[in-house]
A = this chain, B = another copy of it.
Amino acid sequence: MAPHGEGSDAAEEAMVAQVEKHPISSILIVIAMQTEALPVVNKFQLTENPHSPFPKGVPWVHYHGTYKDLTLNLVWPGKDSALGVDSVGTISASLVTYAAIQAFQPDLIINAGTAGGFKAKGAGIGDVFLASHVAFHDRRIPIPVFDLYGVGSRQAISTPNLLKELHLKTGKLSTGDSLDMSPHDEASITANDATVKDMEGAAVAYVSDLLKVPAIFVKAVTDIVDGEKPTAEEFLQNLASVTAALDQAVTQVINFISGKCLTEL
């Protein structure tokens, strides 16, 4: 994360520089939906933690394990306890990211998930994007400076080697709490110059930035927002198949990260 003009004292800079020289050892993977999470859980043979570090009563689920030299913690916000559906969206993602950073003190966060893509910006079904920037498109506060706070634009950490090695696409990610897209959302998404649209990324970025943990955003396209088919229908049709592409990309990303420092990504 590189927020707008934020200061940093010398001690903090020295600490950050030292951390950046050490290989990444602990990764937090934040995924919003069970269908997206389980392939990754299975691929890395992660096990569910029956003694979750989260408060009693919250539906958040923690899986953990080791892979090569990496400690992997994967969290998803679980099923809404009243309604039984995945706890999607920015609030659940923020809370579970906050609580997981506190519990696991990761070196790096990977927010992985499905997204809508814009064909006018080069996105196709099944494409996997690494977001270069994230921002919100449904937080309109038309008062000077509050407007920028609402948009909450943040740059993801720079990962030129990862992009080159894995041949992932890159583009800007725009986040909102609706699956559909209103005309107001569309105007903001255009202003955000977004190629992909999700319901959690900018919220995970906000918390990552707040607690100074670098984050990357791996998003696989389930539906074409500027296409012919209704979003909800296309999303549900492609969800299972596209999670296979997502799973493969996350695996490649984790393999690439293993043994490397942040500055080598």
**What is the interface of chain A, defined by CB distance below 8 A to chain B?**
3-6, 55, 57-58, 80-91, 94-95, 98-99, 102, 136, 138-143, 145-146, 148-150, 176-180, 182-184, 203, 206-207, 210-212, 232, 235-236
Number of copies: 2
| A-B CB proximity, top 5 nearest | A140-B178, A3-B82, A139-B177, A182-B184, A141-B179
In the complex, chain B residues whose CB is within 8 Å of the CB of A143: 179, 232, 235-236
**Interchain CB contact under 8 A, B179 and A81:** no
29 contacts between A and B (CB under 8 A): A5-B82, A83-B145, A83-B148, A84-B145, A88-B141, A88-B149, A89-B150, A90-B90, A91-B91, A91-B206, A94-B94, A94-B95, A95-B95, A95-B207, A95-B210, A136-B177, A138-B176, A140-B177, A140-B180, A140-B182, A142-B180, A142-B232, A143-B232, A143-B235, A146-B179, A150-B177, A177-B177, A182-B183, A182-B184
Q: Once the chains bind, are B138 and A4 in contact (CB under 8 Å)?
A: no
| Choice from B80, B82, B178 contacting A139 with Cβ under 8 Å | B178
Residues of B close to A83: CB separation below 8 A: 4, 145, 148-149
CA distance A149 to B59 in the complex (A): 14
For the complex, give the distance between the alpha carbons of A81 and B139 in Å: 18
Q: Shortest distance in angstroms between A161's beta carbon and chain B's nearest beta carbon?
A: 28
By beta carbon, the residue of chain B nearest A203 is B91
Least Cβ–Cβ distance between A32 and chain B, in angstroms? 12
Q: Report the Cα distance A210→B98, complex, angstroms.
A: 15
Name the B residues within 8 Å of A178 (CB-CB): 138-141, 150
A133 and B109 CA atoms in complex are apart in Å by 36
Assembled-state Cα–Cα distance A149/B6 (Å): 36
Residues of B contacting A211 with CB < 8 Å?
A: 55, 57-58
Find chain B residues with CB under 8 A from A139 CB.
89, 177-178
Docked-complex contact A179 and B149, CB < 8 angstroms? no
